[in-house]
Amino acid sequence: MNELKERNLDSLYKSNLKIAENLLNESGKIDLFYFYERFELETQVIDEFIARDKQSLTGERVLKQGEYLLCFFMAGILNIAHELLTFKDVLNVTFNFNLVGEVIKRFNMEGILGYMKKNDYKYSPVISIYYNMYLSYIHADKDDYYIELKNLIERNFQLFNHDEKVNLLIILENICLTRVVMKIFIRIY
């Protein structure tokens, strides 16, 4: 699409933009890159408006662009933090500098999720799933986070694409196994 825009092939650019928008809308199935793809699409639309001197039409698109970028960031960083914890626990890898962990500690996830839920934000359940995935691993000794994660996944399973569904089920299984091993370990010692 960038190439079409550079070559001023406006009608082809617009038709490809519409096709891309329809593909994302029709699939509607979420994975980690869904939000990034939505962000990129909004960026294309905004660029098109600006190139056509229609800045007044960009307000809502810029807001959506920011929302998609934030969702990509939150889902991505929570997923990465979960993976880093797995590396630490399973492979005994230590990190001298962990900016991801530090950002997670300082980020007011509860406040942001509360705002999303209060305003009935469409993607609130998705971000809640990734957050509870992280909390379930951090607090494997507590039932609440695991139960909440399991319930969220059950209620919102249809939102995700096939690969992400498989990933979520594997994560649930791994957290469950970690919890079982911890309980056995505690009983033995």
Range of the domain at 179: 2-188
pTM to 2 decimal places: 0.84
Q: In 9-27, which positions are buried (b, 16+ CB within 10 angstroms) versus exposed (e)?
A: eeeebeeebeebeeeeeee
| DSSP-derived secondary structure letter, 158 | G
The count of structural domains within the chain is 1
CA distance 156 to 164: 12
pLDDT on residue 153: 96
Cα separation, 159 vs 146, in Å, equals 20
Of residues 56 and 77, more confidence is placed in: 77
| 99-144 confidence digits (pLDDT tens) | 998 999 999 999 999 999 999 999 999 999 999 999 998 888 888 9
- Predicted pLDDT at 148: 95
Return the ∠ at Cα 101 (arms to 99 and 105), rounded to 5°.
115
Residues 6+ apart with CB under 8 A from 189: none
> Would you tell me the crossing angle of helices 10-27 and 34-51 to the nearest 10 degrees?
150
